[in-house]
């Protein structure tokens, strides 16, 4: 099991205004900002990581906030919704909270025998909160969101595709997922290697136009492996399948590989090590602006251009 894909590691999306994004995820959704850094390829913009107390893989949602970016369009060849698990009985709390904060949402519905609530973040990124009976992940709580309601971490990611076989091949043959259930045109794939953040849904919509990845869109989905040795084994296996995959990249908090799956979505494989406490103590996570070594000498300049969050 240790040499297999361990579900979702993180999901990265694109936002517009940085402060609006920060306020929404820390206050309304009640996630912890576990790392405040910059886009390593564009150091004048932030890279935010939101998650549980420790920033455990399977709870991490990250954003590149680009002020003024055009809004994307949901469509095929995209990851189109992000699913979080929440405690059984908590959707009434969430509906009231979303209503009070002028968040766009749909009324509660049900699929695969579970109740869920759909909403959009301020940039139009689509989410589902799914009630689950058991989840032993330790939640991050706030003065407004107690354990009875707080988000556990990821439940699933949904990919919309014109033809499911394209993505299915990578999911099953490379990443070790199996088709577990189907409802209408939604195919639920799951890995048995982990208890949570283990689901990928493919929604097959043959006539759906190709989406445009911009503000309010998922940029990529990262799958989790234990360490670098496993990461490199996956690189060899991806190459053997004819996929174009990057070299190993150091992302400070994990090591990564990237490839575009044949269904059109950018996938990443990322390691558990070294994790978010590599440059900040657990109790201080997210409170300091952390820069990778190559930008430390430009800190004053970078701090001057980054938007204020408070
Ligand atoms: Zn990533």
- Contact predicate 129/116, CB 8 Å: yes
Q: Token digits for 34? A: 């576990």
Q: How far is the centre of ligand 1, averaged over its atoms, from the C-alpha of 205 (Å)?
A: 26
Average pLDDT over residues 284-300: 96
Q: How far is the centre of ligand 1, averaged over its atoms, from the C-alpha of 259 (Å)?
A: 11
| Residue 2 DSSP SS3 | coil
Rounded Cα distance, 146 and 47, in Å: 27
Please name the CATH architecture into which domain 8-305 falls: Roll (3.10)
Task: Name residues with Cβ closer than 5 Å to ligand 1, which is an ion.
Answer: 12, 222, 268
Q: How far is the centre of ligand 1, averaged over its atoms, from the C-alpha of 103 (Å)?
A: 27
pTM higher than the cut 0.85: yes
Question: Residue 278's pLDDT is what?
Answer: 96
Q: How far is the centre of ligand 1, averaged over its atoms, from the C-alpha of 99 (Å)?
A: 31
- Contact predicate 17/308, CB 8 Å: no
pLDDT category at 3 given cuts 50, 70, 90 is confident
Q: What is the pLDDT of residues 172-190, one digit of tens each?
A: 999 999 999 999 999 999 9
Q: How far is the centre of ligand 1, averaged over its atoms, from the C-alpha of 100 (Å)?
A: 32
Question: Residue 1's pLDDT is what?
Answer: 54
pLDDT category at 2 given cuts 50, 70, 90 is low
Q: What is the pLDDT of residues 20-59, one digit of tens each?
A: 999 999 999 999 999 999 999 999 999 999 999 999 999 9
Q: How far is the centre of ligand 1, averaged over its atoms, from the C-alpha of 256 (Å)?
A: 8
Rounded alpha-carbon distances, angstroms, from residue 284 to 49, 72, 224, 280, 288: 14, 34, 24, 6, 8
Q: How far is the centre of ligand 1, averaged over its atoms, from the C-alpha of 69 (Å)?
A: 20
Structure-model confidence comparison of residues 1 and 222, the more confident one:
222
155: left (phi over 0), alpha (psi -120 to 50) or beta: alpha
Q: How far is the centre of ligand 1, averaged over its atoms, from the C-alpha of 50 (Å)?
A: 13
- Contact predicate 14/72, CB 8 Å: yes
Q: How far is the centre of ligand 1, averaged over its atoms, from the C-alpha of 148 (Å)?
A: 30
| Residue 87 DSSP SS3 | strand
- Contact predicate 217/78, CB 8 Å: yes
Q: What is the pLDDT of residues 93-120, one digit of tens each?
A: 999 999 999 999 999 999 999 999 999 9
| Residue 134 DSSP SS3 | coil
HEC string of 111-124? Answer: ECCEEEEEEECCCC
Q: How far is the centre of ligand 1, averaged over its atoms, from the C-alpha of 113 (Å)?
A: 31
Q: How far is the centre of ligand 1, averaged over its atoms, from the C-alpha of 111 (Å)?
A: 29
Comparing CA positions, the residue from 104, 14, 29 lying closest to residue 68 is: 14
Q: How far is the centre of ligand 1, averaged over its atoms, from the C-alpha of 251 (Å)?
A: 8
Q: What's the chain's Rg over C-alpha atoms?
A: 18
- Contact predicate 97/166, CB 8 Å: no
Q: How far is the centre of ligand 1, averaged over its atoms, from the C-alpha of 245 (Å)?
A: 14
Q: How much is the mean pLDDT over the chain?
A: 97
Q: How far is the centre of ligand 1, averaged over its atoms, from the C-alpha of 10 (Å)?
A: 6
In sequence order, what E strands does the chain have?
8-15, 32-39, 42-51, 60-65, 78-87, 109-111, 114-120, 126-132, 153-161, 178-183, 186-190, 199-204, 218-225, 249-250, 254-260, 266-274
Rounded Cα distance, 133 and 300, in Å: 48
Q: How far is the centre of ligand 1, averaged over its atoms, from the C-alpha of 257 (Å)?
A: 9
Q: Check pLDDT > 80 for residue 17.
A: yes
**Count of alpha carbons within 13 Å of 277, Cβ hemisphere only?**
10
Question: Residue 310's pLDDT is what?
Answer: 83
Q: Token digits for 261? A: 């799956």
Rounded Cα distance, 83 and 157, in Å: 6
| Residue 100 DSSP SS3 | helix
Q: Token digits for 170? A: 């990578």
- Contact predicate 123/21, CB 8 Å: yes
In this structure, the dihedral spanned by the alpha carbons of residues 263, 109, 219 and 180, taken in order and rounded to 10 degrees, is -40
In the chain, domain spans: 8-305
- Contact predicate 269/251, CB 8 Å: no
Q: How far is the centre of ligand 1, averaged over its atoms, from the C-alpha of 222 (Å)?
A: 6
């Amino acid at each position: 099991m240790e040499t297999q894909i361990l579900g979702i590691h993180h999901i990265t999306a694109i936002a517009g205004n940085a402060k609006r994004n920060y306020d929404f995820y820390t206050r309304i959704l009640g996630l912890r900002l576990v790392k405040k850094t910059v886009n390593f390829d564009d150091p004048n913009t932030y890279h935010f990581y939101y998650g549980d107390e420790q920033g455990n893989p399977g709870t991490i949602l990250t954003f590149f906030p680009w002020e003024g970016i055009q809004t994307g369009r949901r469509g095929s060849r995209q990851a189109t919704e992000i699913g979080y698990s929440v405690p059984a009985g908590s959707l009434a709390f969430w509906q009231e909270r979303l209503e009070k904060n002028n968040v766009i949402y749909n009324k509660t519905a049900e699929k695969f025998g579970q109740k869920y609530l759909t909403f959009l973040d301020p940039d139009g990124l689509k989410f589902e909160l799914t009630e689950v009976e058991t989840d032993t992940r330790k939640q991050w709580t706030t003065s407004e969101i107690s354990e009875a309601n707080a988000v556990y971490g990821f439940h699933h990611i949904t990919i919309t595709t014109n033809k499911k076989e394209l993505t299915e091949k990578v999911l099953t043959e490379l990443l070790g997922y199996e088709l577990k259930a189907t409802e209408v045109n939604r195919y639920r794939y799951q890995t048995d290697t982990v208890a949570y953040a283990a689901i990928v849904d493919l929604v097959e919509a043959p006539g759906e136009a190709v989406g445009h990845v911009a503000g309010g869109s998922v940029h990529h989905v990262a799958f989790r492996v234990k360490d670098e040795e496993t990461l490199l084994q996956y690189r060899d296996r991806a190459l053997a399948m004819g996929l174009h995959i990057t070299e190993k990249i150091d992302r400070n908090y994990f090591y990564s590989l990237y490839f575009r799956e044949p269904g059109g979505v950018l996938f990443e494989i990322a390691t558990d090590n070294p994790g978010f406490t590599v440059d900040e103590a657990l109790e201080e996570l997210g409170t300091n602006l952390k820069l990778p070594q190559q930008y430390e000498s430009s800190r004053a300049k970078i701090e001057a251009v980054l938007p204020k969050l408070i």
